Structure 1
Amino acid sequence: MDASLAAVLVGIAGVGGTLASGYLAQRDAHEVRRWEGERQHRDNLRDCYIGVNGRSRACRYALADYVQAMATDALTDDIRQRAAAAVNAHRVQFDQAQMLVPDSVLEDTRVVNEKISILYGVLRRLDGGVPQPDDTIEQARSLLNDLWPPLKAMRQAMRLDLGVSQTHPTGR
C-alpha cells in the first residue's frame, strides 16, 4: 500500500471517528436526559405519596379528636377548625394524586378519600344537629376504626409502586 492511499484511509477513519463521536455523544446526552426525567418523575411520585400518606393520617387523627370531643361533649371551635383544615389539606393532596399516581395506587387512595369524606359528613351532620337516621357517635367511631385497613393498604400500594416493598396486603 502506498503512502497516499494510507493517508486517505487515515483521513476517512478520522472523519468517520469524528462524526461517530458526535452521534454517540448526542445519543448519550439524550439517554442522560431521559434518565433524569424518569428520576424526576419518581421523585415527584415519592413526594406525592409522602404527602397523601401524611395528610391522610393527619386527617384521621384530627377526625379522631373530633369524634372524641363530640362523645365527651368537649367539642370546641378549635377542634372543628383543625378537622376542617386536615380534611381540606387531604382533599388537595388527593386531587394532586389523581393527576400523578398510577391506577393501582389511585384505587387504594380513592378508598381512603371516600371513607374520610363519609366520616367527616357524619360528624358535620351530628355537629350541625341534622343527622341522618343512621348517624350516631357509635357509627362515627366505627367509621374511624374502619379507616386503618384502607390506610395500611394505601401505604403498602405506594411502597410497592416505589419498589420498596414486594407484596400488597390484598394479595395484588
Structure 2
Amino acid sequence: MDGTVESLLVTGIAVLGTLISAVLTQRQANRSLTQELDRLDQWRTADRAEQTRHDTALVHRVVYTALNTAARRYLAALTDQLHALGLGTGVEATTTELHEARAAHADSYAELQLVAPEAVLAAARTVNHRLNHTYGILMRLTNGTERPNDSPDVAQAAITDLWSAGLPELRESMRLDLDLPDTRRLRGR
C-alpha cells in the first residue's frame, strides 16, 4: 500500500469513528431523555392520583359533615316532637320544625348516596331507616292514627337508641372512610 491509500484509510476510519461516536452519544442522550420523561410522567401520574385522593376526601368530609349535622337536627326535632306531645302544647310548631329537619336530612342523605362507599352507605341507610321509622310513629301519635305498637315509650326508646348507638356508629364509619381516629376511644370511652 502506498502512503496515500494508507492516509485515506486512516482518515476514513477516523471520520467513521467520529461519526459512530456522535451517533452513540446521541443515542445515549435520547435514552437518558426518555428515562427522564418517563420519571416525570410517573411523578405527574402519582401527583394526580394524590390530588384525586385529596379531592375525594375533601368532598366526603363536606358531605359527611352535612349528613351528620342534618341527622342530629332531625333527631333533635324528633325529640322535641315527643316532648311537645307529652306536654300537649307547641305540637304544631315542633311539627313544622320536624318536617324541615326531615327534608334537610333527606337532601343530605341523597347527596351522600352519590359519593359514599358501601360501608358508609350501609350505616347511613340504617340510621335513615330508623329516623324515618321514629318519624312515622311520632306523626301517627300526633295525628291520632297510631298503630297498636305505637306509643311515646316506643318512640323514646328509638330516639335514645339513635342518640347512643345509631349516630355514633354512622360517624365512626365516616371517620374510618376519612382515616380519622375514633374520638370516643381517644377520650377513653
TM-score (norm 1): 0.86
User: 2:71 matched to 1:56?
Assistant: yes
CA contact (8 A) 1:63 1:83 kept: yes
Structure-2 separation of matches of 1:10 and 1:88: 71
TM-score when scaled to structure 2?
Answer: 0.79
Deviation of residue 164 (structure 1)? 1.4
Q: Which moved more, 1:93-102 or 1:118-127?
A: 93-102
Q: Which moved more, 1:112-121 or 1:71-80?
A: 71-80
The Cα shift of 1:116 comes to 0.6
Residue in 1 that maps onto 2:25:
10
- One-letter amino acid of the counterpart of residue 65, structure 2: I
Partner of 2:155: 140
Distance (Å, rounded) in 2 between the aligned partners of 1:167 and 1:64: 25
DSSP 3-state at the match of 2:115: coil
The match for 2:3 is: none
RMSD over aligned Cα atoms:
2.3
How many residues are paired up? Answer: 169
> Which of the residues 27, 31, 36 maps onto 2:42?
27
Query: The residue matched to 1:17 in structure 2 has which SS?
Result: helix
* Aligned equivalent of 1:112: 127
Query: Do the aligned residues in 1 keep the contact of 2:172 with 2:182 (CA within 8 Å)?
Result: no
CA deviation vs aligned residue, 1:104-139 (integer Å, no higher than 9, x gap): 222221121111101111111111121112222222
Structure-2 separation of matches of 1:166 and 1:67: 31
Q: Gapped runs of 5+ residues in structure 2? A: 1-13
1:154 alignment partner, one of 170, 182, 186:
170
Q: Which residue of 2 aligns with 1:80?
A: 95
Cα distance in 1 between the residues matched to 2:138 and 2:183: 35
The worse-fitting range, judged by mean Cα deviation, of 84-93 and 96-105 is 96-105
Deviations 1:23-65, CA, capped at 9 Å, x for gaps: 3323322222222112211211222221221111111111111
Q: Is the 8 A contact 2:85 2:91 kept in 1?
A: no
Q: Which amino acid aligns with 1:67?
A: L
Identity %: 25
Equivalent-residue separation in structure 2 for 1:146 and 1:21 (angstroms): 59
Distance 1:125 1:96, change over 3 A: same
CA distance in 2 between partners of 1:75 and 1:142 (Å): 22
**Unmatched segments (≥5 aa) in structure 1:** none
Report matched runs for 1:95-110 at 5 Å: 95-110=110-125
Say if 2:159 is the partner of 1:124. Answer: no
CA contact (8 A) 2:112 2:121 kept: yes
